[in-house]
Structure 1
Amino acid sequence: MEQQTVHLFVFNTLSDWEPMYAVVAINNPAFQQQPGRYEVKTVGIDREPVRTTGGLTILPDMALDELDPTRSAMLILPGGSGWGEGSHKQAIDKAREFLAHGVPVAAICGATAGLALAGMLDDRPHTGNWLGELEATGYRGSAHFQSQPAITDGDLITAGGTSPLEFAYQIAKKLELYNNQVREAWYGLYKTNDAKYFFELQSLMA
Structure 2
Amino acid sequence: MAQRTVRTVLLVLFDDVQSLDVTGPLEVFTGAEQYAPGSYRVRTASLDGSPVRTDSGLTLVPDEALTHARVPHTLVVPGGRGTRRDSPELTDWLRTHAPRAERLVSVCTGAIPLAAAGLLDGRRVTTHWAYCDTLARDHPAVRVDRDPVYVRDGSVYTSAGVTCGIDLALALVEEDLGRDAALTIARHLVVFLRRPGNQAQFSVQLAAQTAQREPLREVQQWITENPDADLSVEALAARALLSPRHFARAFRADTGTTPGRYVDRVRLEHARRLLEDTADGIEEISRASGYGTPEAMRRAFVRALGAAPAEYRRRFRPLITR
Equivalent AA in structure 1 for residue 125 of structure 2: H
TM-score normalised over the length of structure 1: 0.77
Q: Which runs of 5+ in 2 are unaligned?
A: 195-276, 279-317
1:190 has 2:191 as partner: yes
User: Is residue 17–residue 83 contact of structure 2 (8 Å, CA) maintained in 1?
Assistant: no
Q: Percent identity?
A: 24
Given the superposition, is the C-alpha separation of residues 115 and 91 from structure 1 closer, same or farther in structure 2, using an over 3 Å criterion? same
Secondary structure at the residue paired with 1:119?
coil
Looking at structure 2, the residues matched to 95 and 199 of structure 1 have their Cα atoms a distance apart, in angstroms, of 43
| 2: CA distance, partners of 1:114 / 1:100 | 13
Whether 1:106 and 2:136 are equivalent positions in the alignment is no
Q: Find the aligned partners of 1:35 and 1:199 in 2 and give their Cα distance.
A: 26
Aligned Cα root-mean-square deviation (Å): 2.9
Q: Give the match for residue 116 of structure 1.
A: 115
Residue matched to 2:254:
none
**1:28 paired residue among 25, 28, 31:** 31
Paired amino acid for 1:96? R
Contact 1:18 1:78 in 2 (8 A): yes
Corresponding residue of 1:91:
90
SS in structure 2 at match of 1:19: helix
Distance in 2 between the 1:18 and 1:48 partners?
19
Q: What's the counterpart of residue 204 of structure 1?
A: none
Amino acid paired to 1:13: D
Number of the residue aligned with 1:169: 170
Name the counterpart of 1:157.
Answer: 157
SS of 1:40 mapped into structure 2? strand
Preserved contact between residue 44 and residue 64 of structure 1 (Cα < 8 Å) = yes
Q: 1:97 to 1:171 in 2, by over 3 A?
A: farther
Q: Is the 8 A contact 2:9 2:40 kept in 1?
A: yes
Offset, 1:52: 1.5
Could you tell me how far apart the structure 2 residues matched to 1:166 and 1:128 are?
A: 13
For residue 20 of structure 2, give the secondary structure of its aligned residue in structure 1.
Answer: coil
- Between the aligned partners of 1:92 and 1:191, the Cα distance in structure 2 is 36
Task: Tell me, in whole angstroms, the C-alpha distance in 2 between the residues paired with 1:121 and 1:29.
Answer: 28
Say which structure is richer in helix.
2
Q: Note if contact 1:44-1:62 (Cα within 8 Å) is conserved in structure 2.
A: yes
What's the secondary structure of 2:161's corresponding residue? coil
Secondary structure of residue in 2 paired with 1:158: strand
Q: What does residue 47 of structure 2 align with?
A: 45
| 2:179 corresponding residue in structure 1 | 180
Q: 8 Å contact 1:129–1:160 — kept in the other structure?
A: yes
CA distance in 2, matches of 1:75, 1:97: 13
Q: Report how far residue 8 of structure 1 moved.
A: 1.0
CA shift in 2, pair 1:94/1:157, >3 Å: farther
Evaluate the alpha carbon distance shift between residue 93 and residue 85 of structure 1 in structure 2; reply closer, same or farther with a 3 A threshold: same
The 1:66/1:30 distance shift into structure 2, 3 A limit, reads closer
Matched residue of 1:82: which SS?
helix
How many residues align? The count is 192
The reply on whether 1:139 has 2:121 as its aligned counterpart is no
In structure 2, relative to structure 1, the CA distance for the partners of 1:120 and 1:40 (3 Å cut) is: same
Structure 2 counterpart of 1:125:
124
Q: Does 1:60 align with 2:79?
A: no
Contact 1:126/1:158, CA 8 A, preserved across alignment: yes
Unaligned runs of 5+ in 1: 201-206
Structure 1 residue 63, shift from structure 2 partner: 0.8
Deviations 1:96-125 (A, max 9, x none): 344532521211122111222333222011
Relative to the length of structure 2, the TM-score reads 0.52
